[in-house]
Structure 1
Amino acid sequence: MVDQRVGDARYLNLALLHHRGGFGVDESLAVVPVRQLNLTQMSLAARLDIHQWRGDSPSRQYLSWTRDRGGKKLAEGFAALLGAAEGVDATGETRTLLKAFSDYVEQEDLPEEASREKTEALIDYASDQARRGEPITLEELSEVLDEQQPKAFYEHIRHADYGLSPEIPPDRRTLNQFRRFTGRAGGVSISFDSHLLGSSVEYDEDQDRLIIKQVPRQLREQLKRQD
């Protein structure tokens, strides 16, 4: 158990740790066998944000935990011991956020390079928050995506009513799947978010062709004028 202070924040960390055999140096500088904490194998750990838990913050996402793969029952027992329940669907919220971002990019009709840069900025920010055990803050993310218009993405989410919370616990697996496929050859340039493959975009491997189900509005209008 660790009572940790970071600036004005205070956290209570609980972890189930294992030990392993190792070597150390005693006072006479002799090498002796010792028992060491195996921090690389953390079977179960939880962090309580005391500031949020006490109700000083509007966010109710004050408890987070991690577990070993395959340790579902252990995690469920630990949650029951704490009297905790999963309050936010991290996977669903992250998917909704990425859908909102894709809609925003399409609405703004951004060039390929700008779209790719914003996608990378989103993934970098969200992945960094996940590594730190911190939630994605929508207003902060909006500022990261566009320093010139720091409220643009946040206003897009608010007006479209995606039902997102101001703070979202990032899901790493969902984030890792959100990349862009790009390609250019013979005067044709194609770029789309990887999560659209299988829904809005299909790849026919046998005939080596892409099928686009939802043609972008601007492109559709150009094609109509050509007719």
Structure 2
Amino acid sequence: MSIHVEQAIIHAISQNTEGQLSCRLRPQPLLNTQAVETMLDELHQTYTSKAGKGFGHFGIAGDDGEANPAFERALTDYRSGELGFVEFSGLAGKLLQQELAKYDFSQGGFLLLSCYTYMTSDYLFVSLLNAKSSMTVLDDMELSQNTHLDLNNVQLAARIDLTEWQADKGSRKYISFVRGRAGRKVADFFLDFMGCVEGLNTKVQNKSLLTAVEDFVASSELTKDERQQTRERVFDYCSERCDSGADIEIKDLADELAEQGMESFYDFAQGGDYALEDEFPADKPTLRQLKKFSGTGGGVTLSFDGTHLGERVIYDPISDTIMIKGVPANLKDQLDRRLKGE
């Protein structure tokens, strides 16, 4: 299912030879052409599939850091009809320019704002895109250098669920954002210009879900295979929700497990000390622990499917050792060649 684009616009933030930033505002929205639809649909899919996103909400009085309310006010005026989309986006461009001016590491970029509808929700997508040079061959076989938007490497982006924001003022997760490679700090300035503060910690929620699932199967009378099947069913459900951009719903997950003969997971999860929200976004890297064991340290990296524990992979916590039966063929070949060479 593709998105339905309502409005989209791009503004340019650039740096002059003296290091001063300026914002060149586009006076009208982008024409709703097939190229624009295709670009935004691609960005939507790319953004939705990104793992490890953070979640937050607009700051209010008393929040740490005294979040700037200017972006939220402008967005409120736009949604109420007091501001047009172009005027709202222009205010956003100026706010980002002012925020970037506080730092000496930015050379600007292209600020993209787009309002679109996907399924039953309205969204505002905000991203600072970089330009990338490339070479192309012309009809006369001459080379030409072109500049294009780097859509495959979006590092500064946020998406506001406008429907959730306006329907549930108490929500702490209607704004999602891409975490930088070095963690949350990389994107601080981008969130600050929107007045966004981090709210729900999805990694903590997903880890709590893992603990609840492990405790639940441990308290059951299932066989080893049935326990692993339950873990994989939980992983499949959460993955499906993540891929579609939907939240994990504990009640919905409990109903899924009930169909497999696993009753009362909802009561179990809510009755323990897991501090699980009823709904929260999925974090695939964390949830993958339901199916696989992996770890790195001291120059050793090890990963194996959970079904092998106790069979092909024997762990002895007392001696702090792991024994592997049936070494993978490519690894065995490397080891044999090394032993032969020595």
Structure 2-normalised TM-score? 0.49
Aligned to 1:202: 317
* Root mean square deviation, CA, Å: 3.5
Q: How does 1:98-117 map to 2 (within 5 A)?
A: 98-117=210-229
Contact 1:21–1:35, Cα closer than 8 Å, also in 2? yes
For residue 4 of structure 1, report the CA deviation from its aligned partner. 1.7
- Cα distance change on mapping 1:31 and 1:120 into 2, 3 Å: farther
Contact 1:143 1:149 in 2 (8 A): no
Q: Normalized per residue, which structure has more strand?
A: 1
1:96-130 deviation per Cα after TM superposition (whole angstroms, max 9, x unaligned): 11111111101112112211111112223323434
Deviation at 1:21, TM superposition (A): 3.1
Change (3 A) 1:132 1:34: farther
Match of 1:129 among 238, 241, 261: 241
Distance in 1 (CA, whole Å) between partners of 2:260 and 2:128 is 45
Look up the match of 1:219.
none
Once the two structures are aligned, what percentage of the paired residues are identical? 29
Q: Which amino acid aligns with 2:158?
A: A
- 1:81 and 2:81 correspond: no
> 2:192, 2:208 → 1: CA distance?
28
Aligned-partner Cα distance in 2 for 1:131–1:203: 40
Q: Which runs of 5+ in 1 are unaligned?
A: 191-196, 209-227
Displacement of 1:25 in angstroms is: 9.6
Task: Please say if 1:176 is aligned against 2:176.
Answer: no
**Letter aligned with residue 204 of structure 1:** S
Residue 194 of structure 1 corresponds to none
- The whole-number CA distance in structure 1 between the counterparts of 2:122 and 2:154 is 22
Gap change, CA 1:51 and 1:25, over 3 Å in 2: farther
Residue 163 (structure 1) aligned with residue 275 (structure 2):
yes
1:5 is matched with 117
Q: CA deviation at 1:203?
A: 5.9
* Partner amino acid, structure 2, of 1:103: D
Structure of higher RCO (CA pairs closer than 8 Å, 6+ residues apart) = 2
Question: Does structure 2 retain, via aligned residues, the 8 Å contact 1:52–1:60?
Answer: no
Q: Which runs of 5+ in 2 are unaligned?
A: 1-112, 293-305, 324-342
Q: How many residues align?
A: 196
Distance in 1, Cα, partners of 2:205 & 2:322:
36
Alignment partners' CA distance in 2, 1:206 and 1:71: 33
Which of 152, 158, 163 is the aligned partner of 1:46? 158
Aligned residue among 182, 186, 208 for 1:96: 208
Do 1:52 and 1:62's aligned partners in 2 also have CA atoms closer than 8 Å? Answer: yes
Q: Is the 8 A contact 2:172 2:200 kept in 1?
A: no
Within 2, Cα distance between the matches of 1:23 and 1:207?
51
Distance between the aligned counterparts of 1:140 and 1:111, measured in 2? 24
- Match 2:251 to one of 117, 139, 143: 139
Higher radius of gyration, 1 or 2: 2
Task: Decide whether aligned partners of structure 1 residues 7 and 151 sit closer, same or farther in structure 2, where only a CA change above 3 A counts.
Answer: farther
The normalised TM-score by structure 1 is 0.70
Residue 4 of structure 1: SS of its match in structure 2? strand
